Structure 1
Amino acid sequence: MAAVTLLSTDGLCRHFGGLRAVDGVDFSLNRGEVRAIIGPNGAGKTTFVSLICGRILPSSGSITFEGRNISALPAHRRVELGIAYTFQITSIFGNLSVFDNVALAVQNSMHRAGGSFFWLDEAQMRRRIFEALDHVGLDDRHDVKASALSYGHQRLLEVAMGLALSPKLLILDEPTQGLSDAEIAGFCKLVRSIAEDATVLLIEHNMDVVMEVAGRITVMNNGTILSEGTPAEIRDDEAVQHAYLGT
């Protein structure tokens, strides 16, 4: 089956004064991929995905999602179209239960019909919440206060909040930061299961994780794409070794 492009950018730029944080990036992501974006600190990775999800708008260039130009759409409209970015939903409310934290994310996932908004009904909401919690293994902790969760489980709660939005594209920014080896192994398994229903784009510094879960890797440096390829191709790329892998 031929690959179907889910998301693409054309000449995407974001400048902050004289700083070219993202500088003319042409990028394409196929439906069903697990794609990793790597690069040294300051490479433009987080700015790039912030442009994709609408947290910031481009200085120039365009972003296309499912054939539609979304360059000027605000973040909440992109969520409605199916783009979820964990950075938008990592404000866990410690005094609320795990269930209620995910409920807040679901309530922000409104559908537009005839120019007006309507909410999911209670049964739909509960089903979506428990499906998301079950996916990350937190369904048995639904009534626990978020503040009582371990750090690793809080990160899983963040992922559940993203999954509850029923995304077509789930963007994860440094999802394994601070996790134990056992938690990282569980996260890799989780990403593979998420990819059965959604496209995954992740920024990640843990190269073992990148090499295990990503089908393709995009390497950024100085606001541009330095290289793209399979894990094996990136591992053997001399320019990447020099700029990022330190070899």
Structure 2
Amino acid sequence: MTPLLTTKGLSRNFGGLRAVDGVDFALMPGEIRAIIGPNGAGKTTFVSLLSGRIRPSSGMIVFDGADITAMPAYKRVRLGVAYTFQITSVFANLTAFDNVALPVQRTLTDGRSKGQVRSGVMAALERTGLADRAGTLAAHLSYGHQRLLEVAMGLALKPRLLILDEPTQGLADGEIDNFITLVREIAKDATVLLIEHNMPVVMQLANRITVFNSGKILAEGTPGEIRANRQVQDAYLGATHG
């Protein structure tokens, strides 16, 4: 099977700091991949490079066979790359419905009708459990619900690749269970790449895990392989050894 997305020698420098350092990465269609690692490991910079929010200093990004290294973020969205931010980026003064209507309108042709927009919005809100809050201003939603609203906005783009940065931050335990179900549902027709600090979520959800440390990939493997990896335990999982 051909990877949906690959990077070759991908690097990003900020002054003297090499935040992402020569990363070779491959993501297969339909998988749920988690990226983990300590703070400052380069995870958010890496997914920002994939989404086009920042440009690489060197290296290459290929999506579905096309070189997208120099492509701006909005064009990547049209190709099917959707990204939700680590810090919520919802429009506080718009309702949940109107927040989701903005990306829905992008996916429809010029002949769109109000009915098409409405059904697209409500489908995304229903999937994220926010349908009953459609008329609520985003500013009045809890932080956890704002995170879910962002996921709904990403889903409304009908992405082929959905990148989620710390999606469970601020969610209550019951909401986290629903989120795990939601991501499994999304993965039936999209590929999911998530940065996540909540290790039980990572171990339950991910088919494969990529561990970043100091801008490089330290290890990759199944949840079981990563859990048993001595280097990962030392760098991140914090296990103590006798």
**What TM-score do the two structures reach when normalised by structure 1?**
0.92
Whole-angstrom CA distance in 2 between matches of 1:58 and 1:148 = 37
What do the CA deviations read for 1:31-65 (whole angstroms, capped 9, x no partner)? 00000000001100000000000001111110000
Q: How does 1:39-188 map to 2 (within 5 A)?
A: 39-87=37-85, 90-109=88-107, 118=110, 120-188=112-180
Whole-angstrom CA distance in 1 between matches of 2:183 and 2:234 = 29
Q: CA deviation at 1:134?
A: 1.3
Question: 8 Å contact 2:86–2:165 — kept in the other structure?
Answer: no
Question: 8 Å contact 1:173–1:203 — kept in the other structure?
Answer: yes
Q: CA deviation at 1:104?
A: 1.9
| Cα-Cα RMSD | 1.7
Structure 1: gaps (5+ residues): 112-117
What do the CA deviations read for 1:137-180 (whole angstroms, capped 9, x no partner)? 21222122222222222211110000001100000000111221
Q: Which amino acid aligns with 2:56?
A: P
Name the SS of the counterpart of 1:63 in structure 2.
strand
Q: CA deviation at 1:131?
A: 1.3
Query: For this pair of structures, how many residues does the alignment match?
Result: 239
Say which of 229, 237, 240 aligns to 1:245: 237
Structure 2: gaps (5+ residues): none
Whole-angstrom CA distance in 2 between matches of 1:119 and 1:16 = 44
Question: 8 Å contact 1:79–1:109 — kept in the other structure?
Answer: no
Question: 8 Å contact 2:61–2:67 — kept in the other structure?
Answer: yes
Q: CA deviation at 1:88?
A: 8.9
Question: 8 Å contact 2:147–2:167 — kept in the other structure?
Answer: yes
Q: CA deviation at 1:110?
A: 6.7
Q: How does 1:184-223 map to 2 (within 5 A)?
A: 184-223=176-215
Name the SS of the counterpart of 1:8 in structure 2.
strand
What do the CA deviations read for 1:108-149 (whole angstroms, capped 9, x no partner)? 4477xxxxxx47443332222111111112122212222222
**What TM-score do the two structures reach when normalised by structure 2?**
0.94
